[in-house]
Amino acid sequence: MSFFAFPALTIRRMLLAASGIVLAGVAVICIARTLPVAFAAETAIGLGVGMGLSTGAVIIAKRFVERLRAVVFLATDCAFSAAGYVFPSIVGLALAAGWRWQSGYLLVCVIPAAIALLCLRVRFPDLAADRGSASAAATRSVPARIPYLRVALFGAALAMYLAGQNVFTIWAPAYLHAQWGLPAQRSGEIVGTFFGASSFGLIAAALLVTRLPPRAVLLGSLVLATTLTLLLSGAATPAAFFALTIGFGFCSTAMFKLLISIGSEQMPDSPARLVTFLIVCTDAGGIVAPALSAAVVKAFALHASLYLCAAAYATTLAIVVVAFLVERRAAAARPIPAA
On whether both 172 and 282 belong to a single domain, the answer is yes
Query: In the listed set 112, 140, 168, which residue is the last one of a domain according to the structure?
Result: 140
89, 167: one domain: no
Instruction: Note down pLDDT in tens along the chain; length 339 residues.
Output: 888 888 788 999 999 999 999 999 999 998 988 999 999 999 999 999 999 989 999 999 888 887 889 888 888 877 877 777 778 778 888 888 888 888 888 888 999 999 999 998 898 988 876 665 544 444 444 445 789 999 999 999 999 999 999 999 999 999 999 999 999 889 988 988 898 888 888 889 988 998 999 999 999 999 999 999 999 999 999 999 999 999 999 998 789 889 999 999 998 888 888 999 999 999 999 999 999 999 999 999 999 999 999 999 999 999 999 999 999 998 887 765 544
Q: How far is CA 233 from CA 213, 229, 279, 325, in A?
A: 31, 7, 29, 31
Q: Which of 106, 140, 174 is the last residue of a domain?
A: 140
- Residue that terminates a domain, selected from 90, 109, 140: 140
pLDDT at 335: 62
Residue 336 confidence (pLDDT)? 55
Do 212 and 304 reside in the same domain of the chain?
yes
Predicted pLDDT at 337: 52
Instruction: Verify that 128 and 21 share a domain, yes or no.
Output: yes
Q: What is the model's pLDDT at position 78?
A: 78
Give the pLDDT score at 134. 46
Integer-rounded Cα radius of gyration of the chain: 22
Domain count along the chain = 2
Residue 106 structural domain: 2-140
Both 93 and 157 in one domain: the answer is no
Answer yes or no: is 243 within a domain: yes
- CATH number of the domain that residue 199 is part of: 1.20.1250.20
Q: Is 339 within the bounds of a domain? A: no
Residue 64 and residue 154 share a domain: no
DSSP 122: -
Same domain, 165 and 298: yes
- C-beta separation of 81 from 195 below 8 A: yes
205 and 226 together in one domain: yes
* Measured distance CA(19)–CA(330) in Å, rounded: 40
For helices 184-209 and 66-96, angle between their N-to-C axes, nearest 10 degrees: 150
pLDDT at 259: 94
- Give yes or no: residues 189 and 99 share one domain: no
